[in-house]
Structure 1
């Protein structure tokens, strides 16, 4: 029994949507359904998976812009982000149109997430950590049993998330990364919001921002 994942780069921004599943139960979740929904549906079907939820790290269009389209095919709960990102989800029609993406209606998730809550995929539990800075409502998902962190746009290979967007805060981002993420085990694998994976140990030693 093990937790499996496939990283699927979606939208012209090449955002890392992650398909997570328990290979024993075939229960699955999708994180950050930014777009390219037909391809996501094809991958789910080809693996024989049962997607039970969508998890969102934050409200930016490349992470949340495909949610409503996906729900037309699979009516599942949408979990997260923290409610401080509600303004981003409500502005999706304008931002998706402005960037030339397929226009996404605004939506409200099934439930907002808070620090310390727990989500699950099959037998695997993920701890929710609230990491404001890139956006005020950004959350990440950490599975200790699988040494895996779904980091959204908080932490990248040798860099960090941008803080020049509305309600971004550089000091908050650095402080939250140091106090909540760099304390995780060195071997923790990090699925970033864009680009290649990294580990907590690598970022402790080589990230010039930290």
Structure 2
């Protein structure tokens, strides 16, 4: 399994494309600049199967409709954020000077965590709330990486001062879900560089002293 990253939009939000040996792919968080996402897919000769969202904040959905319409694929989101895509007050775009961001409703909704299959892709969905109520992380155990959205960063954690954020809940998600994935697990975050569980356990100042 291969993964490709593009850091896009005004706040540098990471969009990931995960591809298998069949040249099929899943698109995670089409954040902005849809033409760059589509150019990557064309360059690699990939066939998109679905779009998966870690959560519904505006900076993770800016190119959602553009990419969805281009490839005609389903969109997956946690059910707790079902109405966030079309509501700037919930997706936080109303709180920023860039203007309101909206997208059409997702087509499929996660309502329980666990093993999932889309086409020939198998992965696990972890409910990791705190940054938002419906934040999820996507674990590709055999390939030893997790797409964490804005839950855990290299040297930091997701902000919790936006609507629906909860600091203690976020720390609990990290400790009970993320840190149990194994020290070698590669963390592909929503912003910034990749990291590992081991690195964050040893060095992340936001995790020291919790519980």
Taking structure 1 as the reference length, what is the TM-score of the superposition?
Answer: 0.91
Alignment of 1:13-52 (within 5 A): 13-22=11-20, 24-52=21-49
CA distance in 2, matches of 1:53, 1:92: 24
CA distance in 2, matches of 1:189, 1:121: 24
The corresponding residue for 2:85 is 89
Post-superposition shift, 1:97? 9.8
Does residue 110 of structure 1 match 2:107? yes
CA distance in 2, matches of 1:34, 1:89: 13
**4+ residue stretches of structure 1 with deviation over 6 A?**
none
Gap regions ≥5 residues in structure 2: none
CA distance in 2, matches of 1:174, 1:194: 18
Deviates more, 1:110-119 or 1:167-176: 110-119
Does the 8 A contact of 1:65 with 1:96 survive in 2?
no
CA distance in 1, matches of 2:22, 2:2: 11
Over the aligned positions, Cα root-mean-square deviation in angstroms equals 1.9
Post-superposition shift, 1:45? 0.7
Post-superposition shift, 1:98? 5.2
The corresponding residue for 1:180 is 177
The corresponding residue for 1:166 is 163
**Matched pairs, number:** 204
Post-superposition shift, 1:121? 6.7
Post-superposition shift, 1:90? 2.3
Post-superposition shift, 1:91? 1.3
Post-superposition shift, 1:78? 0.4
CA distance in 1, matches of 2:184, 2:43: 31
Post-superposition shift, 1:34? 1.2
Taking structure 2 as the reference length, what is the TM-score of the superposition?
Answer: 0.90
CA distance in 1, matches of 2:43, 2:10: 24
Does residue 5 of structure 1 match 2:7? no
What secondary structure, in the 3-state scheme, does the structure 2 residue paired with 1:108 have? coil
Does residue 72 of structure 1 match 2:66? no
